[in-house]
Amino acid sequence: MRNSIKLGALAVAAITAASAVNAGTLEDVRGAGELVCGVSEGVPGFSNPNSEGIWKGLDADVCRAVAAAVLGDADAVRYVPLASKQKILAVSSGQVDMTSRTTTWTMKRDSAEGVDFTAVVYYDGQGFMVSADAGISSATELNGATVCLTTGTTTELNIADYARANNLTLEPVVFEGKREAVEAYASGRCDALTTDSSQLAAFRAGFADPLAHTILPEIISKEPLAPLVAHGDNQWKDIVTWVVYGLITAEEFGVTQDNVADMAANSANPSIQRMLGSSGDTGGFIGLESTWMVDALSAVGNYGEIYDRNLTSTLGLERGVNAQWSDGGLLYAMPIR
Amino acid sequence: MSSPSRTAKSGLSIRNLGSILSQGAVSVAVIAVAYVLFANTQENLAIRGIESGFAFLQHEAGLPIGDSLIDYDPTRGYGYAFLVGILNTLFVSTLAIIFATILGIFVGVARVSNNWLLAKVAAIYVETLRNLPLLLTLFFVYTVVLASLPHPRDAIALMEGVYISKRGFYLPRPLAEDGFALFMVATGIAFILGLVFWRWAKSYKIRTGISVPGFWGGLAIFAALTGLAFMACGQPLGSELPIYKGFNFRGGLAMKPEFASLLIGLVLYTAAYIGENVRSGIQSVEAGQIEAANALGVSSGIVTRLVLLPQALRVTIPATTNDYASLVKNSSLAVAIGYPDMVSIGGTIIGQNGQAIEIIAMWMAVYLTINLIISLGMNMLNARVQLVER
């Protein structure tokens, strides 16, 4: 109910907001001196406040990188935790400048819900986790099973589609919050838990005995997760898009948090010079300082460092399909020139 | 006090004209603001490329629903899915209102009981439940329900076909067989005959003063005739037993833990409030009246039924109307413990479809309608029990 009220307030905000939506978000962010960034209500590895209340995770680092590139200060971010069903509306109504919150890029959202997606930061896919003693090894054996999941996401559509396509009867128990869904699964209410497989790994890592749970091999959907901005502000969309590409490109070129200052001063590689503003003015293309990527990389490091810090070292997630294209993965940043 | 009416009769005075003008101006301003908001919304939605309107209700929903009173599958439309949610909201609210009323009456009576222990237990119950947020109560009940029940493999079997486990409370499903329609007709006739006997007993008592147990007699007639008809029609009622297979029980009737927890939580919470209404109603009746009735030798059951209750209800009903309305609204907390009520399903539709304004409007319309109907019914009941002054 609390969320319904928030949602109502957002809807009212959407109603009353003057048609300032096309005005520059860049000027707004600079004027306010901070970036308002929508994040999750707590997903380990992506966006989750630590014991000191500081937001950590891959999604949170994307917010920090954008703030560093735009304002020169990675800490000038106000994080707004959003429930799943608020995440689109909060962006389209201008409540937040951008959302970096494990949000799947879909056609409907991109075209008919008033938001634009920028660049994919994580290629995910929906999977199932089951108790190891259930003795099943494939999702096709789940006929008749009860499945815990959360509301307001593409998860529900995916599981219904999968059940129809494979002639399975699955009984859903749909929760508002991730934590309640995980609790219900852990207490044995459901035979399986379904959500994006990266999150399944994160939740499994949090269980007292991770080995008592198995993540089934089937990935039943494509979940390209990308930050999103309001529809209609092309300059702002370009900024967020190219900051993400910059982080990915930096890994490709071996530019890291530690060596970025040195690279900016001494690198002989013209591609690196252009990206770091040592020659030309790539920042100027999108209305930013020429040091935009130096600021972003000094704050959070390149994509590989972000991934390793948030997902590999803490949750044990391997790069998998999220490796660079040159390593056989799907990450392929557009060239910065 | 005659001057205001004279002014009113003599037409518009300057003062009246002024107040009419100012009221008119305020109305125009309110309508203008509403119009600007509406037009601005439409414009903003168009600018952002957000769809609006209710055409999406026809589109395929594609979402799974775990607990539905009517046949549902994901190929149905969004409108139909929302209807499933409305029915679930109505179902849980109706049952919760009935049980909360019964429990509330017990609690209220216990509060004013002469039995020290009973009164204290009731007082502790009321104070605890009223002072905890309902959401906490729901989480608590849900956790306790799940933690205390076994896995369906080791389900508690109360008897053949009745099982309790973490997956729910499973019962045999009654199935109509040949002759069931005939049996239903016989049941209807038996009901009418029972009612007729009850009415006759009443009028007989008024005519002759001799008391006949009309209610119990009527009930006995109904039960005897129905039983005979059941035998005569060849016992036209079969059953489908739930059977454990694979992960869970198949077949039979099921009550899911989410539904049970929501129902228990709502009942416990609201009964505390209703109990207080009942207590205040009872305490509002002058002690002298009951003493007078006792002094006349009237039996205590009749004192309660004919002296205490009719007067207590006058105080109890209006406050209870509010609690019923709150209960219906509180049922939206279902979303926290996974029961697919209207808010839960509507939230999913927003997530898939993005048309928040339409869904929020539908939520508001449904809650408003339900609560206006409750309010109407309770006001009619209230009008019947109020003192009729002659």
pLDDT digits (tens, 9 = 90+) for A169-224: 899 999 988 888 999 999 989 999 999 888 898 888 888 898 899 999 899 999 99
- Within 13 Å, how many C-alpha atoms sit on residue B236's CB side? 18
pLDDT digits (tens, 9 = 90+) for A31-41: 999 999 999 98
* Segments making up each domain of chain A, as ranges: 2-123+225-327, 126-221
Comparing CA positions, the residue from A193, A207, A285 lying closest to residue A246 is: A285
Residue A212, chain B, CB below 8 Å: the answer is no
Q: Do B348 and A171 touch (CB under 8 A)?
A: no
Residue A150, chain B, CB below 8 Å: the answer is no
Residue whose pair of structure tokens reads 């309107």 in the numeric block: B53
Q: Do the domains A126-221 and A2-123+225-327 match in fold?
A: yes
Q: Do A114 and B64 touch (CB under 8 A)?
A: no
Average pLDDT along chain A: 89
Kindly state the average pLDDT of the residues A57-68.
96
| CA pair distance A53, A294, nearest whole angstrom | 27
pLDDT digits (tens, 9 = 90+) for A151-162: 867 788 899 999
pLDDT recorded at residue B301:
83
pLDDT recorded at residue A128:
95
| CA pair distance B184, A153, nearest whole angstrom | 46
Burial B234-255, CB ≥16 within 10 A → b, else e: eebeeeebbebeebbbbebebe
pLDDT recorded at residue B2:
45
Closest Cα in chain A, distance from residue B344 (Å): 7
Average pLDDT along chain B: 88
Kindly state the average pLDDT of the residues B288-303.
88
Backbone angles phi and psi of B39, in degrees to 5: -65, -40
Q: Do A189 and B166 touch (CB under 8 A)?
A: yes
Q: Is the pLDDT of residue A17 over 60?
A: no
Q: Do B354 and A113 touch (CB under 8 A)?
A: yes
Closest Cα in chain A, distance from residue B360 (Å): 7
Kindly state the average pLDDT of the residues B143-167.
86
- Which residue in chain B has the smallest CA separation from A111? B49
8 A C-beta contact, residue B201 and residue B213: yes
| CA pair distance A229, A115, nearest whole angstrom | 6
| CA pair distance A227, B364, nearest whole angstrom | 32
Q: Do B40 and A18 touch (CB under 8 A)?
A: yes
ipTM for the complex? 0.75
| CA pair distance B165, A240, nearest whole angstrom | 50
Kindly state the average pLDDT of the residues A135-151.
90
pLDDT digits (tens, 9 = 90+) for B363-385: 999 999 999 999 999 999 988 88
Kindly state the average pLDDT of the residues A139-156.
86
pLDDT digits (tens, 9 = 90+) for B83-101: 999 999 999 999 999 999 9
pLDDT recorded at residue A152:
64
Q: Do A172 and B363 touch (CB under 8 A)?
A: no
- For residue B348, the chain A residues in CB contact (below 8 A) are 85, 151-152, 156, 174
pLDDT digits (tens, 9 = 90+) for A63-121: 999 999 999 999 999 999 998 878 888 999 899 999 999 999 999 889 888 899 999 99
Residue whose pair of structure tokens reads 């997606």 in the numeric block: A117
Q: Do B146 and A14 touch (CB under 8 A)?
A: no
By the 10 Å C-beta count (0-12 exposed, 13-18 middle, 19+ buried), B296 is classed as exposed
- For residue A102, the chain B residues in CB contact (below 8 A) are none
pLDDT recorded at residue A324:
95
Nearest CB to B74: which of A88, A160, A176?
A160
Closest Cα in chain A, distance from residue B366 (Å): 15
Structure tokens at B83: 């209807």
Nearest CB to B344: which of A7, A151, A153?
A151
Q: Report percent pLDDT > 70 for chain A.
A: 93
Kindly state the average pLDDT of the residues A242-270.
95
Kindly state the average pLDDT of the residues A11-28.
60
| CA pair distance A198, A185, nearest whole angstrom | 17
Q: How confident is the model at residue B12 (pLDDT cuts 50, 70, 90)?
A: low
Closest Cα in chain A, distance from residue B346 (Å): 9
Q: Do A19 and B352 touch (CB under 8 A)?
A: no
Kindly state the average pLDDT of the residues B338-361.
89
pLDDT recorded at residue B146:
85
pLDDT digits (tens, 9 = 90+) for B240-286: 888 887 788 887 888 899 999 999 999 999 999 999 999 999 999 98
Residue A205, chain B, CB below 8 Å: the answer is no
Q: Do B347 and A177 touch (CB under 8 A)?
A: no
Q: How confident is the model at residue B13 (pLDDT cuts 50, 70, 90)?
A: confident
Lowest mean per-residue pLDDT among B70-79, B187-196, B300-309: B300-309
SS3 label, residue B285: coil
Q: Report percent pLDDT > 90 for chain A.
A: 67
Nearest CB to A146: which of B62, B167, B356?
B167
Closest Cα in chain B, distance from residue A64 (Å): 27
pLDDT recorded at residue A121:
96
* Rg from Cα positions in chain B: 28
Structure tokens at A218: 């089937």
Partner A, chain B 240-269, Cβ-Cβ below 8 Å: 245-248, 250, 256-258
Q: Do B356 and A4 touch (CB under 8 A)?
A: no
On whether the A2-123+225-327 domain is CATH 3.40.190.10, my answer is yes
Kindly state the average pLDDT of the residues B220-243.
85
Q: How confident is the model at residue B138 (pLDDT cuts 50, 70, 90)?
A: very high
Identify any residues that bridge with B164 across adjacent strands, giving them in sequence order: B156, B169
Q: Is the pLDDT of residue A5 over 60?
A: no
Q: Do B356 and A175 touch (CB under 8 A)?
A: no
| CA pair distance B355, A140, nearest whole angstrom | 34
Q: Is the dihedral of CA A152, A153, A155, A161 positive or negative?
A: positive
Q: Do B47 and A16 touch (CB under 8 A)?
A: no
Nearest CB to B166: which of A144, A177, A188?
A188
Kindly state the average pLDDT of the residues B354-364.
90
Comparing CA positions, the residue from A150, A204, A140 lying closest to residue A172 is: A150
Backbone angles phi and psi of B245, in degrees to 5: -150, 125
Structure tokens at B304: 């309660």
- Which residue in chain A has the smallest CA separation from B349? A152
By the 10 Å C-beta count (0-12 exposed, 13-18 middle, 19+ buried), B182 is classed as middle
| CA pair distance B328, B341, nearest whole angstrom | 11
SS3 label, residue B211: coil
- For residue A92, the chain B residues in CB contact (below 8 A) are 48, 50
By the 10 Å C-beta count (0-12 exposed, 13-18 middle, 19+ buried), B178 is classed as exposed
Q: Do A174 and B66 touch (CB under 8 A)?
A: yes
Beta strands in A59-210 (DSSP E): 77-81, 98-99, 115-117, 122-124, 126-131, 146-150, 171-175, 192-196
- Which residue in chain A has the smallest CA separation from B336? A176
Mutate to test the interface with B, among A86, A156, A191, A229 (most CBs of B within 10 A): A156
Comparing CA positions, the residue from B192, B185, B199, B186 lying closest to residue B225 is: B186
Identify any residues that bridge with A225 across adjacent strands, giving them in sequence order: A104, A122
Lowest mean per-residue pLDDT among A17-26, B103-112, B209-218: A17-26
> In angstroms, how far is the first alpha carbon of chain B from the final one?
26
Residue B361, chain A, CB below 8 Å: the answer is no
Q: Is the pLDDT of residue B227 over 50?
A: yes
Q: Is the pLDDT of residue A15 over 50?
A: no
Structure tokens at B75: 């190929």
By the 10 Å C-beta count (0-12 exposed, 13-18 middle, 19+ buried), B265 is classed as buried
User: Containing H/E element for B385?
Assistant: helix B356-385
Q: Do B146 and A10 touch (CB under 8 A)?
A: no
| CA pair distance B343, A1, nearest whole angstrom | 8
Q: How confident is the model at residue B80 (pLDDT cuts 50, 70, 90)?
A: very high
pLDDT recorded at residue A155:
86
Nearest CB to B336: which of A88, A134, A180?
A180
Angle, nearest 10°, between helix axes B78-111 and B309-330?
A: 140
Nearest CB to B49: which of A112, A145, A148?
A112
Residue B333, chain A, CB below 8 Å: the answer is yes
| CA pair distance B147, A62, nearest whole angstrom | 40
- For residue B350, the chain A residues in CB contact (below 8 A) are 7, 85, 89, 152
DSSP 8-class letter at A147: E
* Residue B23 identity (one-letter amino acid): Q
Partner A, chain B 104-143, Cβ-Cβ below 8 Å: 143
Q: Is the pLDDT of residue A10 over 60?
A: no
| CA pair distance A309, B269, nearest whole angstrom | 46
Q: Is the pLDDT of residue B8 over 80?
A: no
Nearest CB to B47: which of A21, A154, A164?
A21
- Mean pLDDT highest for which of A89-93, A253-257, B222-226? A253-257
* Residue B185 identity (one-letter amino acid): V
Residue A148, chain B, CB below 8 Å: the answer is yes
CATH number of A126-221: 3.40.190.10
Residue A197, chain B, CB below 8 Å: the answer is no
Closest Cα in chain A, distance from residue B138 (Å): 12
Partner B, chain A 213-252, Cβ-Cβ below 8 Å: 230-232
pLDDT digits (tens, 9 = 90+) for B25-64: 999 999 999 999 888 888 877 777 777 788 889 998 888 8
pLDDT recorded at residue B142:
93
Residue B354, chain A, CB below 8 Å: the answer is yes
* Residue B345 identity (one-letter amino acid): I
Residue A173, chain B, CB below 8 Å: the answer is yes
Q: Do A146 and B332 touch (CB under 8 A)?
A: no
Kindly state the average pLDDT of the residues B195-207.
88
CATH class of the B78-134+256-385 domain in this structure: mainly alpha
- For residue B45, the chain A residues in CB contact (below 8 A) are 114
Lowest mean per-residue pLDDT among A124-133, A298-307, B63-72: B63-72
User: Containing H/E element for B37?
Assistant: helix B14-47
Residue B144, chain A, CB below 8 Å: the answer is no
